A and B are shown apart, each in its own frame.
Chain A
Amino acid sequence: VASSTNFPGDDIARLIPENVRSILEDLKKTPIDHTKWFYANPIKEIYQGDVLKKVVVYFMDVDGQVEPIERPAIVMSHTCDCQPGQSDHVMVAPLFALSEFTTDEEFSKADLETFIRDFKENRLKDKLYLPKVKELPDSWLDFNLVFSISTQHFHSDAFSGSRERIISLSQKGHYFFLMRLSFSLGRPDPTDSKRNAT
């Protein structure tokens, strides 16, 4: 992984688009005031990062069983790609509530507390924490759990209920979302990767 030591401290600011540059201060304070800068009210069009009230997605478990589950979900597709007539599919990712966690024999209360604390501080690589807002409880997005819906169906009347949104991401929230997404999916292979050159 390339080092970011070329941009120590606030020098990083010059790499951040002006309109979201104050995220520097926001991130330093996180999780304090997270909700204040992360969300914004939805507008007419669907945007990347919009949180949908309830969507049926399919999930394959460890036994290979596939069943529908109904969840709040977040739009993963790029804004352009989820407009009618653009890409064939819109990607959404189900959201899970932290309150759904229950301890078990192998995972103690202390384990869970640590786990949830790291969730809320966005310290887990493949997960994005979404703080409670409106009817969405404290939730998380797993970047490895994504589902595709036909764009035509997504914009159909039949899907209108599912298309209802709880909240959208603000400009800064979206930038943070992209940051996490690029970090999660776009990080380089190790330089000693055994992948063939051709």
Chain B
Amino acid sequence: MSTAIDWPRIAIDSQSHNQPPSESQTKHYVRCSGTSDFGLTVWNNLALAASVPIASTRPYAACSQGYAFSNLNGWFVKALPDDDMALAASGTVLATKPYKACSWYAPNFSSWVIDTVPGAIDAGQQSTAATISYNMLPGTGAEWFGPSYAGSVGAERAATQREPVKIEEFVAHGAALRVVAEHFLEGTRDLTPKERNFLTRFYSRVHKKSK
């Protein structure tokens, strides 16, 4: 996948469920990096969004019940590793710092986004239900996913015949992973200088031995 392609942003709501997007719904664009564009394994299941403004969105009420999205007003894009499907959650805020607005970056990322885009959101906006739209990258054989089922946020099978995906395994995978990692790896530490030198000597010895 090429770096930073433009692809249509498709806003959907319960009325447009399972219907193709209209032309007016696709007039806004986000620029999305693909799953392979960041070069490191860790990014493989992440797609980061650039800061092309999103002018408006259509609310999708059920999404507000998703625990992670309750007060979300930033936006992010995330791609599934398998199929390059991307999901964009957007509100009225322009993501001025798209990298940091990515969902995986912080455990309580809605608050975190609010904190990190100073001035971009006020208390009133924070209570706005998140607006979620699902987008497919072109060329994947499927145009879009339907909206979530009530009570959770996920992508359900639509035109693609794919299995439903729960938020824990989909939208929030990266964010959750980071939280879980920090929770359990809290006790981890850096090497001490002495250990670091020891390891450097070790690697050097291994290298010399191989000659």
Could you tell me which A residues sit within 8 Å of B by CB distance? 1-4, 6-7, 12, 14-18, 27, 48, 59, 61-62, 65, 67-70, 76-81, 87, 91, 96, 100-101, 104, 106-107, 111, 115, 118, 122-126, 145, 178-183, 185-186, 188, 197
Contacts and interface: CB of A to CB of B under 8 A. Distances in A.
Given A106-B197, A181-B42, A12 B204 contact: no
Contacts of A104: 198, 201
B180 A16 contact: yes
A59 B183 contact: no
A185 B42 contact: yes
Contact of A183 (B108, B182, B198, B201): B182
Given A67-B210, A124-B188, A100 B202 contact: yes
Interface stretch (B25-33, B52-60, B124-132, B170-178): B170-178
Given A2-B107, A67-B210, A183-B181, A78 B41 contact: yes
Contact of B82 (A65, A80, A181): A80
A13 to B, nearest CB: 9
6 contacts: A6-B108, A67-B207, A115-B198, A125-B188, A179-B180, A182-B177
Contacts of B41: 48, 76-78, 81, 91, 181, 185
A195 to B, nearest CB: 10
Contacts of A179: 177, 180-181, 184-185
Mostly, the A contact residues are: mixed
A185 B174 CA distance: 13
A185 B181 CA distance: 12
Closest 3 CB pairs between A and B? Answer: A78-B44, A15-B176, A69-B210
A104 B44 CA distance: 41
Interface string B63-105: 0000100000000000001100000000000000100100011
A126 B179 CA distance: 17
B179 A62 contact: no
B81 A80 contact: yes
Contacts of A107: 194-195, 198
A113 B177 CA distance: 31
Nearest to A81: B44
B156 interface: no
Given A18-B168, A77-B41, A182 B178 contact: yes
B163 interface: no
Contacts of B178: 2, 182-183, 186
B141 to A, nearest CB: 16
A181 B211 CA distance: 31
A4 B179 contact: yes
Nearest to A197: B97
Contacts of B107: 2-4, 6-7
B36 A61 contact: no
Contacts of B172: 15
A155 B209 CA distance: 29
Given A182-B104, A182-B177, A186-B42, A2 B206 contact: no
